[in-house]
Amino acid sequence: MIVVMKSDATPAQIDHMSRHIASLGLSPQVIHGSHQTVIAAIGEESPGMAEALEPGEGVEKVLPIMAPYKRASSELKHERTVVKARGLEVGGVRIAMIAGPCSVESEDQIVTLARRLKALGATGLRGGAFKPRTSPYSFQGHKEQGLKMLATARAETGLAIVTEVMAPEHVPMVAEYADVLQIGARNMQNYQLLQAVGDSGKPALLKRGMSATMDEFLLAAEYILDRGNPNVMLCERGIRTFEDHTRFTLPLATIPFLNEKSHLPVVVDPSHGTGKSRLVPAMAKAAIAAGADALILEVHEDPEHAVSDGSQTITPAVFKQLMDDCRRVAIAVDRAM
């Protein structure tokens, strides 16, 4: 850490901070500048230390230096993580496509659609059984019934099931049916849930919170990794900004940034990331060009009658074209699909 003292900090204040730093197990090194003094605190920073030093007398600000995450960092683990769940493999040369409806509506719906998606090249099937809904009056999902429908679709197609789990106490039940446990954007900092998913040992798809920084995102992954579960996928799904022509802003620079800082594979969700089905195909191609390892997409036979998220859902026909287009882009960036 670097503790920047105010320009009028007294020698006593500088001395006090140095001793405070030493009491934290770090070694203080005072640097007298022409304008102000800074104290370098050498040693292993732990989270919250910078924050703890800031209220000190005479302190202007404290600058942390080390990244706060460890297990998620590419400095600690150089080889890239490949997450595998049945036929779904995320993080290798081949780009994976996870597709399906926002909500599981009926067994017939999900099985028919799963067959279609499988035929078109998807390896993962998404579908919500537990639905986090902004309003208590919206459809909340078929819950365990929905999970059973997904399991049936898997039995019919072999697609890996990716579905959301919303509460720690549901983890065992969802883990029984699903191949990948999805943690939604609203729950990215639901730490009990992260730990429960970590403990389950199941592959996890962690969605970025809509206002999470990269440090917060990687620290959320750290909660899962820290429980001994190495199979974490990081999913960019759009952030909240002032833009109003899309439902969220989908910042694809996340992809090369995460690819540099972390060994974990990166998934992109252009459906939630735009909220507009018309923008999904272009953003799907762009995500692959930027280096994504997988896409997760909302597909429904009849988006107009989908029980949720219709406005951002594409039809199987659009998905077919998107697969063809994405495959060409994947090859152009030395990937396969």
Which of 14, 21, 69, 129 is in the footprint of a copy of itself by CB under 8 A? 69
Q: Decide: 269 and 72 in contact? Cβ < 8 Å.
A: no
Q: Is 92 in the site for a copy of itself (CB under 8 A)?
A: no
How many whole angstroms separate alpha carbon 226 and alpha carbon 248?
A: 30
Q: Tokens 């009056």, residue?
A: 137
Give the residue, chosen from 10, 19, 22, 75, that forms a contact with a copy of itself under the rule CB under 8 A.
Answer: 75
**Tokens in use for 285?**
């191609």
Tokens of 88: 């779904």
* Shortest CB 180 distance to a copy of itself, Å: 20
Least CB distance from residue 254 to a copy of itself, whole Å?
Answer: 8
Of residues 168-197, those binding a copy of itself (CB under 8 A): 168-169, 186-187, 189-193
Residue 101, amino acid: P
Give the phi and the psi of residue 89 in degrees, each rounded to 5: -135, 120
Q: Is 155 or 332 the residue whose CB approaches a copy of itself more closely?
A: 332
Task: By CB under 8 A, tell whether 47 contacts a copy of itself.
Answer: yes
Binding flag, residue 230, a copy of itself (CB under 8 A): no
Distance (Å, whole) CA 23 – CA 261: 31
Interface residue with a copy of itself, options 15, 19, 22, 63 (CB under 8 A): 63
Name the burial class of residue 153, with classes exposed (0-12), middle (13-18) and buried (19+) by CB atoms within 10 angstroms of its CB: buried
From 51-59, 91-99, 153-161, 171-179, span contacting a copy of itself (CB under 8 A)? 51-59
For a copy of itself, give the closer residue by CB, 86 or 143: 143
Nearest to a copy of itself of 7, 145 (CB atom): 7
Q: Which residues inside 198-227 make contact with a copy of itself, applying CB under 8 A?
A: 210-211, 213-216, 219, 222-223, 226
On whether the CB atoms of residues 130 and 84 are closer than 8 A, the answer is: no
Does 79 engage in binding with a copy of itself (CB under 8 A)? no
What residues contact residue 88 under an 8 Å CB cut-off, 6+ apart?
96, 98, 123, 124, 159, 160, 162, 179, 180
Query: Per CB under 8 A, does 10 bind a copy of itself?
Result: no
Q: Within a 10 A sphere around the Cβ of 178, how many other Cβ atoms?
A: 26
16 contact partners, CB below 8 Å, separation of at least 6:
56, 57, 58
Site for a copy of itself in 123-152 (CB under 8 A): 132-139
Helix (H/G/I), strand (E/B), else coil: 241: coil
CB 235 within 8 A of CB 272: no
Number of residues interacting with a copy of itself: please give it, by CB under 8 A. 111
Site for a copy of itself in 264-303 (CB under 8 A): 273-274, 276-279, 281-283, 285-291, 303
Residues 231-270 that bind a copy of itself (CB under 8 A): 239-246, 249-253, 255-257, 260
329 binds a copy of itself (CB under 8 A): yes
- Supply the minimum distance, in Å, between the C-beta of residue 266 and a copy of itself: 11
Q: Does 20 bind a copy of itself (CB under 8 A)?
A: yes
Q: State the Cα–Cα distance between residues 221 and 233, nearest whole angstrom.
A: 8
How far apart CA 122 and CA 201 sit, in angstroms, is 24
